[in-house]
Amino acid sequence: MRVFICFESSCESIAVTSDQTVGATKQMLKDNFLVQLSDDKQQQYLELSYGGAVLQDSWALCDVGITSGSTIRCLIKSERRPVVCVFNAVTGETLPIMGSEAFLHMSVASLKTVVSMQSGLPVSTFRLSTPAGVQLYDCNQLQDYAIEEGSTLRLDTWDGWVQFLQGCLLGHRLTVQSHLSEKKPVMRFQLQVALYIAAALGHLDLAGWLLERGMHADKPVGVHPYRQWCHQTSHPDTGKCPIHIAAENSQLLILKLFITRNLSTLACLDPEGRDPLKVAIQHGRRDCVRYLANKLCSVVSLSNISLSMRIYLQIKRWVRLGQNRAASNRCQYGSAAFKARVGDTLLVDGFNQPNMSSRSRKAVTKPSRAIKTKAVKPLPPICNLLSVSHLPSLQSVSTGDFKEMQKKHNIMSK
């Protein structure tokens, strides 16, 4: 049978069979119309449609009602190829990173910022590695690792954190609570991470529960407690606060919750010195800009005086600075730097075994159990350590002899 193919400004008929697939028809069109689909920057392909519906390659022409004399529309579609892809071990999804070839000359830290914005995870909760398993460090360039266009990188999180982060991304408070660490410094860090993710994705219930637990929306996420001794070289985005990520992602309800709980969050600055209003303006979040601007232009009524919001925030900032300085003077000789103590775990990049391989909590506890069982192995027989002939002979001692020995010992001690 013969069908008509409308391609660009022409319409031609071609001979096809009724049981021919759409994929085979596309190959015929490439040969007849000399269609060139090779493009390095964009992926081009043919699309056939009949009756307004797009035809799939595996379909047969007769199955979709195409008969002799039917007209099929042919279009050239194009879609941009991602520069690199990132496999997220937490969610099991692959994130496409779009951009030009110049993207491959950027730093690893810039790539982690893009991945953090797409995934909703703070930069201090994951690491990136090449397909060969080589870890990417923030201070290096992507070209230093010979990463080619179209490569798929891997995102891994801290061991034992997969279920915890999954609960954060879904907003399940009970899941988050059940997978918190038993170590208090790590648990505090996890709670701040959970508040960051809740602010990024708009999980209102989870954010409210975390605020009740004592978390602060104007406190930076920071780094893992194991890395506190080298926090000066950490990623700049570790200084972002949940209030900033909420304004960046246009989470208006989260913004209202944070500001209602603490007005000081209006003046919280990110690592680039921007308050939440400037963050919302630069990202074009109109609803957030309108709400934050109205708040900053409002008046705070106290018992005997009314102050503008900006003056009130400035006074609160002075009071907080004074409190922090007084607290630091009191604890100058009593607390260790960065809240770390002797005996705490310390991670140094390139020296320790990587603790970010996305292993489950059960897999993490297995090595510790193996060490314990190895430590309590049965001792070897005594005959292997000391010959029995070298041991002194044991003689029975009566009660009278024991008293005489005790008297001699007392006389000698005098």
CATH number of the domain residue 143 falls in: 3.10.20.90
Using CA of residue 186, residue 188, residue 193, residue 197, what is the dihedral sign? positive
Round to whole Å and give the CA distance between 221 and 230. 15
Say whether both 258 and 178 belong to one domain. Answer: yes
- Can you give the pLDDT at residue 36? 59
Say whether both 267 and 170 belong to one domain. Answer: yes
**Inside any domain, residue 388:** no
Say whether both 167 and 139 belong to one domain. Answer: no
Least confident stretch, 76-90, 197-211, 336-350: 336-350
The pTM assigned to this predicted structure is 0.69
195 CB contacts (<8 Å, ≥6 apart)? 207, 210, 211, 215, 217, 242
CATH number at residue 273: 1.25.40.20
Say whether both 180 and 316 belong to one domain. Answer: yes
Q: Which two tokens stand for residue 65?
A: 């009602």
Closest CA to 270 of 295, 296, 293, 247: 247
Share of the chain above pLDDT 70, in %: 76
**Inside any domain, residue 401:** no
Least confident stretch, 87-96, 151-160, 181-190, 370-379: 370-379
- Can you give the pLDDT at residue 3? 85
Q: What is the arithmetic mean of pLDDT over 107-122?
A: 92
Q: What is the arithmetic mean of pLDDT over 388-407?
A: 46
- Can you give the pLDDT at residue 280? 94
Domain boundary among 291, 325, 359: 325
Mean pLDDT, the chain, rounded, equals: 79
- Can you give the pLDDT at residue 404? 58
- Can you give the pLDDT at residue 75? 81
Say whether both 174 and 310 belong to one domain. Answer: yes
Round to whole Å and give the CA distance between 31 and 7. 13
- Can you give the pLDDT at residue 165? 94
**Inside any domain, residue 335:** no
* Cβ atoms 225, 189 nearer than 8 A: yes
Domain boundary among 102, 126, 157: 157
pLDDT at 401 over 70: no
C-alpha Rg value of the chain to the nearest Å: 34
Q: What angle do helix axes 184-201 and 252-261 make, rounded to 10 degrees?
A: 130
Say whether both 171 and 133 belong to one domain. Answer: no
Number of folded domains that form the chain:
3
Q: Which two tokens stand for residue 353?
A: 């075994």
Closest CA to 190 of 230, 229, 154, 162: 162
From residue 119, how far is each of 135, 198, 247 by CA, in Å? 19, 12, 16
Say whether both 193 and 264 belong to one domain. Answer: yes
Say whether both 28 and 47 belong to one domain. Answer: yes
- Can you give the pLDDT at residue 22? 86
pLDDT tens digit string along 13-26? 888 888 888 888 88
Q: What is the arithmetic mean of pLDDT over 222-242?
A: 81
pLDDT tens digit string along 336-387? 444 556 666 777 666 666 677 777 776 655 544 433 434 434 434 433 333 3
**Inside any domain, residue 393:** no
**Inside any domain, residue 407:** no
Q: What is the arithmetic mean of pLDDT over 102-115?
A: 88
Q: What is the arithmetic mean of pLDDT over 178-188?
A: 90
Say whether both 179 and 248 belong to one domain. Answer: yes
- Can you give the pLDDT at residue 105? 85
Q: Give me the domain span that covers residue 94.
A: 84-157
- Can you give the pLDDT at residue 52? 81
- Can you give the pLDDT at residue 24? 87
Say whether both 150 and 186 belong to one domain. Answer: no
209-212 long-range contacts (CB < 8 A, ≥24 apart) are: 209/173, 211/257, 211/258, 211/261
**Inside any domain, residue 405:** no
- Can you give the pLDDT at residue 394? 39
pLDDT tens digit string along 69-79? 888 888 877 77
Say whether both 68 and 144 belong to one domain. Answer: no
Domain boundary among 140, 157, 174: 157
Which residue did the predictor score with more confidence, 68 or 229?
Answer: 68
**DSSP state for residue 386 in the 8-state scheme:** S
CA 369 to chain centre: 28
**Inside any domain, residue 341:** no
**Inside any domain, residue 406:** no
Say whether both 143 and 10 belong to one domain. Answer: no
From residue 310, how far is each of 267, 271, 290, 292 by CA, in Å? 8, 21, 16, 12
Q: How confident is the model at residue 330 (pLDDT cuts 50, 70, 90)?
A: low
Q: How confident is the model at residue 395 (pLDDT cuts 50, 70, 90)?
A: very low
Q: What is the arithmetic mean of pLDDT over 152-173?
A: 92
